[in-house]
Amino acid sequence: MASGNPFQLEGRVLAVVGAGSGIGEAVAEMAARLGARVTLLDASEARARAAAERAGAEAEAAVLDITDAAAVEAAFDALVRRRGGLDAVISTPSINVRKAILDYTPEELDRVLSVNIKGSFNVLRAAGRHLTARGRGSIVLFSSIRSQVVEPGQSVYAATKAAIVQLVRTAAAEFAPVRVNAVAPGIVDTPLTAPIKQVPEWHAAYAAKSALRRWATPEEIAGPTLFLVSDAASYVTGTVLFADGGWTAVDGRFDPPKA
C-alpha cells in the first residue's frame, strides 16, 4: 500500500463508463476531486463532455457504445495511448425493461442482455487486457440488490445483475493481482429510476424498504465505488459491496405501537 492517505487517487488514470449521468457522473466528479485523471465514457458524447467540464481540467470525454466489442477495445487502446497508462476502470451502465416474464418480447430480452451482460463483459475484457499486462489496477462493475432480491417485473434485469457478480468473481480469480469487485446499490435517484419517482406511492414504498428509510443520492454510491479502486481496498477482490441503506438486511418492516 502506498504511503499517505490510502483513499486519495492523486495522479491515477481512471476510466468511468456511463459517466454522462447518474451514478457514473457522480463517480467521475468525485474521482477528479480526489486527484484522479478521469476519462468519462458514455453512449452520449454530449453528456460525457458536459460532465467532463464539470469534473475539471484533468478530465476528458469520449463516446462509447459498450455493446460494440471492437469499439470498446479501440476506446481503451486509445485511452492508454493518450493518458500513458490506466489504473482503474469503473463501469456503471445498465438498462431495465419492467415487464412480467410472460409479456417480455424477444427484442426486449436481447436489448437488456446486450447492455447489461454483453456490455459489461466487453468492458471487463478490454480493461482486463491492459491492467493484467501492467500487473496492477482495479476494475469495478455494477451489480444491484436485484442480484439477491427481486419483485414482479424484474426477471431479466435481476438475472443480469446476478450474472455480473459471477463475472466479477471469475475475473478476480483470473486477473490477480489486478483487483475486480462489484458495487450493488439499492434504490438511487438516477434517470434509470425516474419512472418510480413519478408514482408517489411507489416512491414512498421503496424508501420505506431500507433501514435508512430513504433513497440514496448518486454521490452516496460514488464513495463506496472509489473506495474499491483506492489503496484502502488493496486486499479486497472478488467481492460485492452492497450500498443499499440496509435493504438486503431488512426482511420487511413492522414498527410495534408505542405503549
Tell me the catalytic residues: 157
* Complete DSSP assignment for 32-93: HHTT-EEEEEES-HHHHHHHHHHH-TT-EEEE--TT-HHHHHHHHHHHHHHHT---EEEE--
Q: Are strands 37-42 and 138-142 parallel, antiparallel or unpaired?
A: unpaired
For residue 137, how many C-alpha atoms fall within 13 Å in the half-sphere facing its CB? 24
d(CA 57, CA 202): 40
User: What are the cell numbers at 162?
Assistant: 446476478
Three-state secondary structure call for residue 186 = coil
